[in-house]
Amino acid sequence: MTSTPETILTIANLCVSVRGEEGSREVVSNLSLTLKRGETLCIAGESGSGKSMTALAIMQLLPQPAARISAGTIHLGATELTALDERRMRHIRGDRIAMIFQEPMTSLNPVLSIGRQLTESIEAHTSLSPAEARQRAIEALKAVRISEAESRLRQFPHELSGGMRQRVMIAMALALEPDVLIADEPTTALDVTVQGEVLELLRDLQQKHGTSVILITHDMGVVAEMADRVIIMRHGRMVEEGKTSDIFARPQAEYTRELLAAVPRIGSGAGRQKSREAEAATPAKVAEVTDLHVRFDLRGGVFGRVTRRVHAVEGVSFSIAPNETLALVGESGCGKSTTAKALAGLVPYSGDIVVGGRNLSGLGRDERKAVRRDVQMIFQDPYASLDPRMRVGDLVAEPLLIHGIASKEERRERVAALFDRVGLSSDQMELYPHEFSGGQRQRVCIARALALRPKLIIADESVSALDVSVQARVLDLLKELQREFGVAYLFISHDMAVVENISDRVAVMYLGQIVEMGTRDQVFSNPRHPYTRRLIEAVPVPDPARRPSRFARLDQEIPSATRRIGEAPLKLALSDVGNGHLVAAEG
Amino acid sequence: EDTVDPNAKQGGAITITYKDDVATLDPAIGYDWQNWSMIKSLFDGLMDYEPGTTNLKPDLAESYEISPDGKTFTFKLRHGVKFHNGREMTAEDVKYSLDRVTNPKTQSPGAGFFGSIKGYDDVAAGKAETLSGVTVVDPYTVKFELTRPDATFLHVMAINFSHVVPKEEVEKYGADFGKHPVGTGAFKLAEWTLGQRIVFERNADYWHKGLPHLDKITFEIGQEPIVALLRLQKGEIDVPGDGIPPAKFQEVMADPEQKARVVEGGQLHTGYVTMNTTMAPFDNVKVRQAVNMALNKARIIQIINGRAVPANQPLPPSMPGYDKAYKGYPYDVAKAKALLAEAGHPDGFDTQLFAMNTDPNPRIAQAIQQDLAAIGIKASIQSLAQANVIAAGGDKAGAPMIWSGGMAWIADFPDPSNFYGPILGCAGAVPGGWNWSWYCNKDLDAKAAEADSVVDPAKAAERDKMWSAIYDKVMEDAPWAPVFNEQRFTMKSARMGGADNLYVDPVHIPINYDNVYVKDVQ
Amino acid sequence: MIAYLGRRLIQSLLILLGVSLITFALLYLLPADPVRQIAGRSATPQTVENIRQQLGLDQPFVVQYWHYLTKLVSGDLGRSYIQRSEVTELIVSRLPASLLLMVGAILCELLIGLSMGLIAAVKRGTATDQTLMVASFIGVSAPQFVVGLLLLYVFAVRLSWFPIGGYGTWRHLVLPSLTMGILGAGWYARMMRSSMIDVLRQDYVRTARAKGLARGAIIFRHALPNAILPVVAMIGIDIGIFMGGIVVVESVFGWPGIGQLAWQAIQRVDIPIIMGVTLVSAFAIVLGNLLADIIAPFIDPRIKLR
Amino acid sequence: MTSPIAPDLMAGRMPAKPRAGVWRRLVKRRLALLGLVTVAIVVAGAILAPWLTGYDPNEQMFDGLTIEGSPLPPSAKFWLGTDLLGRDLLTRILYGARTSLIIGIVANGVALLIGTLVGVTAGYFRGWIGGALMRFTDLMMAFPALLLAICLAAVFQPSLWIVAMVIALVNWVQTARVVYTETSSLAEREFIDAERTIGAGAPRILFRHILPHLLPTIIVWGTLGISTTVLLEATLSFLGIGVQPPTASWGNIIFENQTYFQAAPWLVFFPGAAILALALAFNLIGDALRDILDPTQRGRA
Ligand SMILES: Nc1ncnc2c1ncn2[C@@H]1O[C@H](COP(=O)(O)OP(=O)(O)OP(=O)(O)O)[C@@H](O)[C@H]1O
Ligand SMILES: Nc1ncnc2c1ncn2[C@@H]1O[C@H](COP(=O)(O)OP(=O)(O)OP(=O)(O)O)[C@@H](O)[C@H]1O
Ligand SMILES: [Mg+2]
Ligand SMILES: [Mg+2]
């Protein structure tokens, strides 16, 4: 690692304030930092602490009309960015500072081809001919290890998986070899295997070009693996700064210590409860899923006949007992969310789903409503699952209202209590979803799911966007509720550390089928299926001393779940390798 | 011949505009404002009128003879008259044309005019293919036998429906003959671009030497009258077929140069209000008379910029039989009120006044409405599309009052009888008929038949008197309230020549194409 | 794509069938008697009945409709009662003019409307924005007859830039298209502004800015294609609105299109023409909707033809 | 286990604010206020017409025309001039506001309502209800409105309410189409799924969650619809359906006099300006509402 002491970016006393309906408030206060050439600076910290705002302030892209820089300076080299007009700032953006945004799904223009989006920034900042720009774009795609780069140029964002989109974003940011790269939670949306690839990629590229990177993340594992220096933020202020090894080894600030203590570690004892025996014998399961199939028809032909199908879920069976947490893990697109949705009654399915003794199919209106009360879901994307035009307080109160629970005042109190439990203040009830940071939104979703005290909560990647401290808090809360009310969880996550932490049993999914299922200890201590092993290996370790040299990488593309009519996928047979540890034969 | 203007120059082309489409140029079918005079220039009948007048004269016929009982008409045809296709016209063609127009398959709206010809009923009923009353004596003589003496018969022989068509061309084009007209007229069709343009070309073989004067007439179709006037002012066109639009009238008249090119003339037209005599309270003659007295005709004429003269009887002033001595009902609100009171409506009543929806008819209807309100009659206006008003009028319980403007009678031919039959006689007082006041006076019907049997031209004055008496009697019963006789105001470009009355020809509306000429040819 | 078109065409045919049935039924119920109009003022009841029989108008409704349909299949729309010509011929001779005017008008309204909406959205809240929006409302509120005459007066009569009405060259097309376009432009400007404002807040616009793209590239390449989608969905609706305005504009400019034909037919209850024009305009509208749906995936690749 | 971390309090706490009423926020905006005042003036003018003018709207005054029968330009006696029948134009515009408000607001509003309901329903409920509704909408769209109007005119006694009904029947289609498209994409959004999982019924989802998102579209169509419907009313009256002369409406005044726009421009200009003012006023209100009701626009002045 090159260690030129030269400073490239200096932020001094930066204050960002947002204007609400009744006056403004500061979300970044007096932040000062420096970034040296070739250095990776991680900004970690509580969700909502102003990390994204800081990044946007550097880019001069704060959300209009609400937010603005109220004080402070940002110097890129000798240039004072806050004083630049839009035209001159344009030359800096993309060319000297590039940014990867927190939401890869929405950050690419859906109507422009990948090639267009790549070449246009090259053409904007260089005098390359279109053909040369195209060449450069292909190189950039190859650099982020996207297969068939040339043909990808013609594809559109929606034709790519989430991981690929994020890599395109990175390629776009790096194509011009900027001096500074700001990556805001570049991996939050990705599953472990892809996350590993992306991080490795960032590191490779940085070594090659000497780019300075500001990496915003709440994942201490990522911090440990990537950062040279770390800044910990809270409430818009910097609480601690230091070298990565120092921070991990000798955290100074109280908050940093809390943060580190809260990090879930795979295989370590921290927070790991004793694995409870799977209560297989308990007759009254909360949910029982037998031979679940979900297929999405793709139509074609003159009469709109079904010609192809996506076999999203192929014959999945599992059951969840009260008080139990079943974790569902697997790669992006393997059918986890679809399974969850079937359980929540959001997609048509075949097979049997029995919840609280009632088979979901063939229920009357009122019964269905009652079942709904028992099964709640926390969605993968917190922003998308909140109505942007409703106040979050109303959103959380809504389930109570629908089921006619409590009077108006009581509802308010209960909502306030729920806010408190998920670590939000009751003042924030009056805000709208877009006024929250990513992590805060997720907490709103969790509060909402808890409102009805359901028997089963389906949590689809619901803690991945949270900073570790809140994550820990939420996990504790979930466990607490389980103890109090016997709630069962279907916990979907790509974070194996978290899974290990919270689950009683684990099911590993691959291409719509379960390839391994067993108690947590069975699966983590004795992973039998190669796919399971690969997943576990890919998890970043929150210890800078134990940096792996290479992430395990999935070389081949994920096979498609789409098939022609009549071509049913091969059904994997599960065999018991002892004590209910089910493993599919390799094939 | 006598009627040719000695100053007229030969040659040149003019352009005329119309708003509405030209439907058909088949003389057996065309019955519109636009195509009526076009057909007159493409075809000829046995009879015609002297240009710019209502005086009958023989046309394709060289001479005619009327039997003393008035029931047989014999026409001698002109020799050497050729159709546009080059074939000579003969008596056979005359007979064929009349058989054709009366044949129900032709669906001619004018078939009824030939009702007095022997054998008409059989043909109309589909029982016969030819009129037994029409016989070809020799190639240049044709004889008509009538079932009753018919004083209007010579006029009937002059209307478009009796124009002569060549059989071979009709059979060639069938129902589309109207798009490919072939006649004996002064002009022949050169081009017809549907919805855009019709071009007439001089018929070099026209039998009437010296006519027509113009080489070419272009009719441009589909232009708003107001735009047509703009084009006239720019010198792009020569005659706006739809006349001077009301909105531009003041402007034109205020400019001496333009005013000099305006031609004014009478029209065989009366605008009137019908009152449904079978419907209370209009079944009471006093009520109808009261309405007649309530109308402030001067005010109504003011509203249309003075482009009419007040009317007091059904016939227009230029029509033979118009009773100059008749004073009509005075404008007398007090008396009208008194009459209403006598009729048992001291406080008036509610009723409806139908009118067609194109300007200025709704305005006139509103003026009438205000006049009626002054004597207590509250008439609500129904301003509807033409077809709807006609439908309401033809329904016995449909319309209590109708303002006739826009659909009103413009005479088919200049004879007093033309204002009676379908619109005041019992024959028209049938469902779907055109007698919207449902006035049926058997007595008057008999008198009308009597008047029409006076065939002798020498007794024309006497016959006119008989008709005057009939209309006076009608006015006594007051099924109508005549309002005004519209004056035609038209304009021409500076280069147009010919007597003014050619531009307000009572028969060739809007202009007599055969006789006008342009001054700027050498 | 072909399969999709086939399916949509079948649907469209069904819609046309529905339109024809309703129109036919409504016209059947209309009190005005076409036979009386054909037969003329002096016809005897016998003649009237005779004609009624010839036209088959004495038949029950279902039979009449069936006859109409069977002839329709072979492209025969019947003969006009008043004009006595083949309706097909009348329509075919006038259709090109209307189509041309439609193309001209749509081009005008898109050009004017979209640019107005775009500028207004980009300059949101400024005086420019407000002026443009007032202008678009004037366009929507101004009676077309007056607009047409005004344009004619200024540009044709006074300035002699264009001919006073008529049909033939591109110069004839300008003023009528503009007259039609001014109304539509108002609509498009409003819609465009509204959807553009939405799009300008999207994340990908922020991405584009982060790449340091020029303002023009951001607006035209990134925002416009996204914002234009709801506008494209308007095409079918637009053709419907167009059919309403065409009558006035065609008569002001002496434009030989089907609007004038339709208007005259309505005034005189010339049923075969009304039926014919209705079917043709319904077809145009259906086609417009289809076109909008076909264009959509080219603008937004996420949309699949289904 | 107690949580190690206290709830994160926000720097510079926001005061727990009462929900400022939409109305209050509306009148705080200058342009919106202007719009409100204009609408108020028009409504007041319509209601108070008899007290605001000394003339009868239908009285054809003898001195209201020149000898040649031309209308009079604006003057001290007739503030906005007279019409072709010698009636006071100002009076007719005031009384005409009654008709035009009913058309522009009620008829247009009903059309908007029907269109929105149909569009939302069809867009949200897939399957046969949605399919049937949308096919019906397509059918209505392809069906010529004027024809329907004429036939209705023949069946009913023409009146203001009939014309209002016809306009509503004709105009909902376009709104329905646009709303349909938007709803069907909204229905795919995840927060709608989220609503379903908490047991929200269709009415709640449609009205509480989908409808607010359609507001900008509805506002655009609603405000544009004002001018269009007011002018459409004139066409319908012309064809005999709707208010019959001498009842005034803004559209009719224009329609009757449009050929005179050169000879008597005031006859077209003033009613035209009235329509424009009404439409613009609603547009200003609509624009402000759109911003106020859109939380992401908070902070925009
Ligand atoms: N558009 C906005 N309007 C008002 N407040 C906002 C807006 N966007 C963000 N905020 C507030 O600004 C604060 C900082 O948000 P920011 O997005 O920088 O958090 P973050 O540190 O990136 O958190 P996370 O890790 O959850 O993404 C939060 O309290 C949030 O509520
Ligand atoms: N509505 C749909 N129509 C067609 N295919 C779908 C639909 N929804 C999901 N799929 C497909 O079903 C498969 C399973 O998707 P699912 O969302 O369940 O994946 P996942 O395991 O949750 O992945 P991730 O971790 O990325 O969320 C994917 O191939 C996806 O493309
Ligand atoms: Mg963030
Ligand atoms: Mg998922």
- Asked if residue A311 has its Cβ within 6 Å of ligand 2, the reply is no
State whether A91 and A236 are in the same domain. yes
What is the full per-residue pLDDT of chain D (301 aa) written as tens digits? 333 333 333 333 333 344 557 777 777 788 888 889 999 999 998 898 888 888 888 888 888 888 888 888 888 888 888 888 889 889 999 998 888 888 888 889 999 999 999 988 888 887 778 778 888 888 888 887 777 776 776 667 677 888 888 888 888 888 888 888 888 778 877 788 888 888 888 888 888 888 888 888 888 888 888 888 888 888 777 777 778 888 888 888 888 888 888 888 888 888 888 888 888 888 888 888 877 777 776 554 4
**Percentage of the residues of chain D whose pLDDT score is greater than 90:** 6
Note if the bond before D265 is cis, omega within 30 degrees.
Answer: no
**CA B521 to chain centroid:** 33
Pocket perturbation via mutation, ligand 2, pick of A187, A296, A306, A511 by most ligand atoms within 8 A of CB: A296
- Predicted complex ipTM exceeds 0.85: no
DSSP 8-state symbol, A571: P
- Asked if residue A310 has its Cβ within 6 Å of ligand 2, the reply is yes
Tell me the two tokens of residue A338. 């679809």
Enumerate the β-bridge partners of residue B117: B146
Residue D285 near chain C (CB below 8 Å)? no
Tell me the two tokens of residue C99. 């189509």
Three-state DSSP class for residue A201:
helix
Q: Answer whether B370 sits within 8 Å of D60, measured CB to CB.
A: yes
State whether A233 and A299 are in the same domain. no
Q: What is the pLDDT of residues C169-209, one digit of tens each?
A: 888 899 999 988 888 888 889 888 888 888 888 888 888 88
**Cα–Cα distance for residue pair A517/B388, rounded to 1 Å:** 81
Closest Cα partner for C234 from C292, C180, C299, C294? C292
Q: What is the pLDDT of residues B249-307, one digit of tens each?
A: 888 998 999 999 998 888 888 999 999 999 888 999 999 999 999 999 999 999 888 88
- What homologous superfamily does CATH list for D26-57+76-293? MetI-like (1.10.3720.10)
Tell me if B485 sits within 8 A of B410, measured CB to CB: no
**A162, burial (CB in 10 Å: exposed 0-12, middle 13-18, buried 19+):** middle
Tell me if B474 sits within 8 A of B480, measured CB to CB: yes
**Cα–Cα distance for residue pair A390/D211, rounded to 1 Å:** 12
Say which range, A410-424, A554-568, B389-403, C26-40, has the weakest mean pLDDT: A554-568
**Cα–Cα distance for residue pair D293/A472, rounded to 1 Å:** 36
Residue A196's domain spans which residues? Answer: 25-261
Q: Residue D11: its pLDDT value, please?
A: 33
Considering only CB atoms, B366 lies closest to which of D158, D245, D263, namely D245
- Asked if residue A495 has its Cβ within 6 Å of ligand 2, the reply is no
Query: Cβ of B115: how many Cβ atoms within 10 Å?
Result: 21
| Residues of chain C with C-beta less than 8 angstroms from the C-beta of B109 | 38-41, 43
Contacts of A55 (CB under 8 A, 6+ apart): A43, A99, A182, A184, A214, A216
Q: What is the pLDDT of residues A26-70, one digit of tens each?
A: 889 999 989 988 889 999 888 788 888 999 999 888 887 778 888
**Ligand 1 centroid vs D96 CA: distance in angstroms?**
54
**Cα–Cα distance for residue pair A260/A245, rounded to 1 Å:** 13
Class of domain C94-297: mainly alpha
Which of ligand 2's atoms lies nearest the C-alpha of A331?
Answer: 25
* CA dihedral sign, ordered B321, B322, B327, B328: positive
CA atoms within 13 A on the CB side of C102: 23
Q: What is the pLDDT of residues A251-302, one digit of tens each?
A: 888 888 888 887 777 665 434 455 444 444 555 778 888 889 888 776 655 5
Query: Cβ of A91: how many Cβ atoms within 10 Å?
Result: 13
The dihedral region occupied by A401, where left means phi > 0, alpha psi between -120 and 50, and beta the remainder, is alpha
Query: Cβ of B19: how many Cβ atoms within 10 Å?
Result: 22
Q: How many domains does chain A have?
A: 2
Strands A488-492 vs A325-330: parallel, antiparallel or unpaired: parallel
Residue A182: its H or E element: strand A180-184
E strands, B115-162, are: 134-138, 141-145
Place of tokens 């059919």: C243
Q: Which amino acid is at A108?
A: L
Enumerate the β-bridge partners of residue A73: A12
Tell me if D144 sits within 8 A of D151, measured CB to CB: no
Tell me the two tokens of residue B40. 């007159």
Q: Residue D18: its pLDDT value, please?
A: 42
Q: What is the pLDDT of residues C95-121, one digit of tens each?
A: 888 889 988 998 898 899 999 999 999
**A38, burial (CB in 10 Å: exposed 0-12, middle 13-18, buried 19+):** buried
Q: What is the pLDDT of residues A395-415, one digit of tens each?
A: 999 988 888 887 888 888 889
Residue C296: its H or E element: helix C271-299
Tell me the two tokens of residue A430. 């009056």
Residue closest by Cα to atom 31 of ligand 2:
A333
Tell me the two tokens of residue D60. 């054809």
Task: Please compute the mean of the pLDDT values over residues B480-493 and round it to a whole number.
Answer: 90
pTM listed for this prediction: 0.83
Three-state DSSP class for residue D152:
helix
- CA angle (A135, A140, A145) in 5-degree steps: 125
Task: Please compute the mean of the pLDDT values over residues C84-88 and round it to a whole number.
Answer: 87
Place of tokens 């399919």: D131
Q: Answer whether C302 sits within 8 Å of A125, measured CB to CB.
A: no
Domain boundaries, chain C: 94-297
Task: Please compute the mean of the pLDDT values over residues C262-272 and round it to a whole number.
Answer: 83
Closest Cα partner for C205 from C221, C194, C192, C193? C221
Residue C111 near chain D (CB below 8 Å)? no
State whether A76 and A29 are in the same domain. yes
E strands, B345-430, are: 350-356, 378-384, 401-403
| Residues of chain D with C-beta less than 8 angstroms from the C-beta of C11 | 135
Residue A518: its H or E element: strand A513-519
Tell me if A504 sits within 8 A of A276, measured CB to CB: yes
**Cα–Cα distance for residue pair A36/A487, rounded to 1 Å:** 49
State whether A76 and A219 are in the same domain. yes
- Asked if residue A167 has pLDDT above 60, the reply is yes
| DSSP count for chain B of H helices, then E strands | 16, 21
**A364, burial (CB in 10 Å: exposed 0-12, middle 13-18, buried 19+):** exposed
How many angstroms away from the CA of C216 is the closest CA of chain B? 44
Residue D296 near chain C (CB below 8 Å)? yes
Q: Residue A554: its pLDDT value, please?
A: 46
**Cα–Cα distance for residue pair B375/C179, rounded to 1 Å:** 47
Q: Answer whether C211 sits within 8 Å of A302, measured CB to CB.
A: no
Q: Answer whether C47 sits within 8 Å of B227, measured CB to CB.
A: no
* CA dihedral sign, ordered B491, B495, B500, B506: negative
Pocket perturbation via mutation, ligand 1, pick of A14, A27, A443 by most ligand atoms within 8 A of CB: A27
Question: Which of A53, A76, A103, A111 to substitute to test the interface with C, most C CBs within 10 Å?
Answer: A111
- Asked if residue A332 has its Cβ within 6 Å of ligand 2, the reply is yes
What CATH number is associated with residue A370?
3.40.50.300
Tell me the two tokens of residue A205. 């590229």
- Asked if residue A388 has pLDDT above 60, the reply is yes
Question: Which of C84, C101, C155, C179 to substitute to test the interface with B, most B CBs within 10 Å?
Answer: C84
Three-state DSSP class for residue B521:
coil
Q: Residue A284: its pLDDT value, please?
A: 72
**Cα–Cα distance for residue pair A434/A384, rounded to 1 Å:** 10
**Cα–Cα distance for residue pair A298/A565, rounded to 1 Å:** 10
Q: Answer whether D246 sits within 8 Å of B247, measured CB to CB.
A: no
Three-state DSSP class for residue A539:
coil
Query: Cβ of A436: how many Cβ atoms within 10 Å?
Result: 21
Residue closest by Cα to atom 6 of ligand 1:
A435
Query: Quick one: closest CA in A to D11, which residue?
Result: A235
**Cα–Cα distance for residue pair A499/D227, rounded to 1 Å:** 61
Considering only CB atoms, C260 lies closest to which of B222, B231, B386, namely B222
**Cα–Cα distance for residue pair A314/C250, rounded to 1 Å:** 63
Q: What is the pLDDT of residues B395-410, one digit of tens each?
A: 888 899 999 987 756 7
Q: Answer whether D295 sits within 8 Å of A389, measured CB to CB.
A: yes
